[in-house]
A and B are shown apart, each in its own frame.
Chain A
Amino acid sequence: MPLGAYLTLAALVFAIGLFGVLTRRNAVGILLGIELMLNAVNINLVAFARFSGDLGGILFTLFTIAITVAEVAVGLAIVIVIFRVRRTVEADHLDLLRG
């Protein structure tokens, strides 16, 4: 398959992830959307690396995956602490700060 196919696939996944972030009410659900977006990045990177024969993309992917994990960990911790304080993880209820 040509590079374009992979890129398009990644773009689609990216868009779907974004859609998830925009529409899910549950904070955890939003996190999942972010995961999808980062996943798309990885597909892109690997595809580019494969088609250019360059190692950088692979390394980049490795780092991205690790960073993602760190992000998710922190994100989930925030969700938990929010839940503890606010008794909800519905993002729509989190509007103490506005204006």
Chain B
Amino acid sequence: MTAEAVAFVGVAVVLLGSSLAVVLTPNLFHSILYLAVALVATGVVFLLLDAPFLFGVQLLLYAGGVVTIVVFAIMLTERLVGRTIRQASRYLINGALLSVAVFAGVAGFLVQAPLAGARPGVSGDLTLAVGRALVGAFAVPLELLGVLLVIALLGALYFARSEP
């Protein structure tokens, strides 16, 4: 077993474990913390895939941004309701069955797929290439992404603020 494999297994275990915890733990706040773990673990997976830049983005945007928003949301709602929100699960078995079935559906394709291709070497500076692409061919999409973020913000604001 190579070091990479060991690392992969380790990260995978953490990722899957924390993911399961996210969906199973009764305390919503704990869920978020586990989500943060899962997101970080994903970042580590990115590292294993030689994408350190994405690791950073993941850490900043996701683990940082998303988790913070969610925490805010929870705090807000908890403050409004005045007690800790516990969360329960519904129809665990049905959900589990369906999820497993979907996984099996995906796996059914995966096992048939020729995935034997070897991992090519890393060529050049990924970050630089990404940067070039974003101001090059992907400049327009990037603009649109900006519009999207603005409009999402606008929408969120519209909802979140209480009208007089």
- We find that the number of chain A residues with CB closer than 8 angstroms to chain B is 68
Partner of A16, one of B23, B92, B115, B116: B23
Contact call B16/A43, Cβ cutoff below 8 A: no
The number of chain B residues touching the other chain, given as a range, is: 35 or more
Partner of A50, one of B22, B50, B100: B50
The residue in chain A whose Cβ has the minimal distance to the Cβ of B138 is A59
Interface string of B46-77 (1 = CB under 8 A from A): 10111101100110011001100110011011
Partner of B16, one of A9, A20, A28, A74: A9
Interface string of A33-48 (1 = CB under 8 A from B): 1011001001100110
How far apart are B134's CB and chain A's nearest CB, in angstroms?
7
How far apart are B19's CB and chain A's nearest CB, in angstroms?
4
Q: How far is the CA of A23 from the CA of B159 in the complex (A)?
A: 26
The residue in chain A whose Cβ has the minimal distance to the Cβ of B57 is A65
Contact call B5/A1, Cβ cutoff below 8 A: yes
How far apart are B160's CB and chain A's nearest CB, in angstroms?
5
How far apart are A89's CB and chain B's nearest CB, in angstroms?
6
Decide: A73 near B85, CB < 8 A? Known: A18-B98, A46-B49, A59-B134.
Answer: no
Contact call A29/B119, Cβ cutoff below 8 A: no
Contact call A12/B133, Cβ cutoff below 8 A: no
Contact call A58/B51, Cβ cutoff below 8 A: yes
